[in-house]
Amino acid sequence: MPSPCPCGAKADLDHCCGPYLEGGEPAPSAEALMRSRYTAYTLGREDYLMATWHPTHRPDALNLAADGPTKWLGLEVKTCQSVDASHATVEFVARYKIGGRAHRLHETSRFVLLDGRWLYTDGDIHPK
């Protein structure tokens, strides 16, 4: 039985974010990239996260394991906006637990279309 996609879309992983994570095709929109990056976090796919981060904004390394075991609880996409043909924003809330303590990340992320691929640049965290 197929597993549901962690991004919350009503499709299984193989027909939603899976093809992007496996490099079969680039995410077709900023929202699809944001959802696939959330899925990558849930699966510990640092390779995908680094590959989809704009080179001028990308950290030298990620160490997701340093945060301790993270249980991802869900993603809510609030808004998606095209700024122009090659720039977009996506506002979202991601819920998760670390060490049994609940957290939520409310961010408006910025994306750029570069050489036919959407890339994450950075984002603004919304205060609680």
Q: Over the chain, what is the mean pLDDT?
A: 94
Q: What is the pLDDT of residue 69?
A: 84
pLDDT tens sequence across 23-50: 878 999 999 999 999 999 999 999 999 9
pLDDT tens sequence across 61-81: 998 877 778 999 999 999 999
User: Between vectors from CA 111 to CA 61 and to CA 80, what angle results, nearest 5°?
Assistant: 130
Q: What is the pLDDT of residue 99?
A: 85
Query: In angstroms, rounded to a whole number, what is the distance separating the alpha carbons of residues 74 and 38?
Result: 9
Q: What is the pLDDT of residue 128?
A: 77
* Domain range annotation of the chain: 13-125
pLDDT tens sequence across 8-26: 998 999 999 999 999 878 9
pLDDT tens sequence across 91-110: 999 999 988 899 999 999 99
DSSP state of 97: E
Q: What is the pLDDT of residue 57?
A: 95
Say yes or no to pLDDT of 54 above 90: yes
Note the CATH number of domain 13-125.
3.10.450.50
